[in-house]
Structure 1
Amino acid sequence: MVARRIFVYGVTGSGKTTAAARIATATGLPWHSVDDLTWEPGWVQVPDEEQRRRIAAICAGEEWILDTAYGKWLEIPLARVELIVALDYPRWLSLARLLHRTARRIIDGRLVCNGNWETLRQAMGNDSIIRWHLQSFGRKRERIRRWCADTSGPTVLRCTSPRQLERWLRQPRPAPDRSSEPRYPR
């Protein structure tokens, strides 16, 4: 079976968005950036119920890739996911990636999502993504390990290094079987 509903999960800074984009390229499955679904311009967070509605609409579909999930609606993709790609990298690696990415974005003003960009003030403030990494690292790694141990749940591809993810991405994949889908005249 070729997975048609894929959820990329990992600690902050592990490279979930980049991995999800590459998986979408390799599989032809539609990728949905969670940041684009949960943040409006000016770093205004989409209300929780609207986030749940948006994620539920995506997850009701037969094909999708999500590049993360927030705890407040994590059960929605978990109810339908076929494959979890878990980026379980060491703290030093994910933190180094996060620091590098944040510095790059601050220096070059690269847009993050919906016209938002990172600032030095954000990186050092109370809502800092770096602080979030430090606070959530252990909890997210523990969640990955629980998923791996749960044989009744979806398949989990646990990558403990970027090299493992690269090997998996290079594997040839058959196109998803769409023969049972209804055909509509064009």
Structure 2
Amino acid sequence: MKRIIVIGVTGSGKSTFSKKLSNILGLKYIQLDELFWLPNWEMTPDDQFFKKIDEATKDSSWIIDGNYNRTNHIHWPKADTVIWIDLPLWLTFYQNLSRSFNRALFRKEIWEGTGNKESFSRMFSKDSIVRWLFKTYRPHKKRNEDRLKSIEYSHINFHRLRSRREISDFLLMVAKRSDT
């Protein structure tokens, strides 16, 4: 495991998991959202976004988290491992809502240098990350199940983690292996 992609719907815990795994393995951590979002919630144009991802994944080892399907042609062919955080909808909803509420309450900048902060009005708007979860949960699950079977990704070692227990056990297993 040297070039790892962590996927999962919004609020599934991709970033938290990826940071922990990065610390265990000593690999560079890349967050696609951080590469994508500019100040004032502006979006990086695709050509620039693709260049940022290509540059970030030039090294021989890294962990990247995010679900920007239009970018898969850049980092998926380079990956040796994909870890899918596939928690039940109720748990993902709880985690997503809790994270959004805390971000809105404490107004902490989400990605350094952007000034982007969650707000209660944004949390309940038509662009809400909570609404995004319900819109994308089932299609995301179907797309990832198809990827598991795809010949195109047969070079990738897939891990599907379906509970907090499986996530903890996986991190513990990786930590034990890296100690030897």
Please report the TM-score for the alignment, with normalisation by the length of structure 2: 0.91
The structure having more radius of gyration, on CA atoms, is 1
Q: Where in structure 2 are there 5+ consecutive unaligned residues?
A: none
| 1:128 equivalent in alignment to 2:132 | no
Q: Give matches, 1:46-61, under 5 Å.
A: 46-61=44-59
CA contact (8 A) 1:147 1:156 kept: no
**Percent identity over paired residues:** 28
CA contact (8 A) 1:14 1:94 kept: yes
Equivalence for 1:158? 160
Deviation at residue 75 of structure 1 after TM alignment: 2.1
After superposition, the CA RMSD in angstroms is: 1.4
Give the length in aligned residue pairs: 173
Relative to structure 2, which stretch is displaced further, 138-147 or 22-31?
138-147
Considering fraction of residues, name the structure with more helix.
Answer: 2
Rounded to whole Å, the distance in 2 between the matches of 1:173 and 1:36 is 30
Cα distance, 1:30–1:58 mapped onto 2, change above 3 Å? same
CA contact (8 A) 2:9 2:67 kept: no
Deviation at residue 166 of structure 1 after TM alignment: 0.6
Equivalence for 1:180? none
Where 2:177 maps in the other structure, the secondary structure is coil
Relative to structure 2, which stretch is displaced further, 7-16 or 39-48?
39-48
Question: After the TM superposition, which parts of structure 1 deviate over 4 Å for at least 4 consecutive aligned residues?
Answer: none
Rounded to whole Å, the distance in 2 between the matches of 1:59 and 1:143 is 23
CA contact (8 A) 1:12 1:98 kept: yes
Letter in 1 for 2:105: I
CA contact (8 A) 2:24 2:178 kept: no
Equivalence for 1:173? 177
Please report the TM-score for the alignment, with normalisation by the length of structure 1: 0.88
Equivalence for 1:43? 41
Equivalence for 1:144? 144
Rounded to whole Å, the distance in 1 between the matches of 2:105 and 2:17 is 23
Q: Where in structure 1 are there 5+ consecutive unaligned residues?
A: 176-186
Q: Give matches, 1:14-163, under 5 Å.
A: 14-113=12-111, 114-150=114-150, 152-163=154-165
CA contact (8 A) 1:59 1:77 kept: yes
Where 2:105 maps in the other structure, the secondary structure is helix
1:51-99 residue CA offsets vs partner (Å, 9 max, x unmatched): 1111111223211111113022122111111110100111101011000
Rounded to whole Å, the distance in 1 between the matches of 2:86 and 2:79 is 18
Deviation at residue 149 of structure 1 after TM alignment: 2.6
Deviation at residue 146 of structure 1 after TM alignment: 1.8
Deviation at residue 174 of structure 1 after TM alignment: 3.1
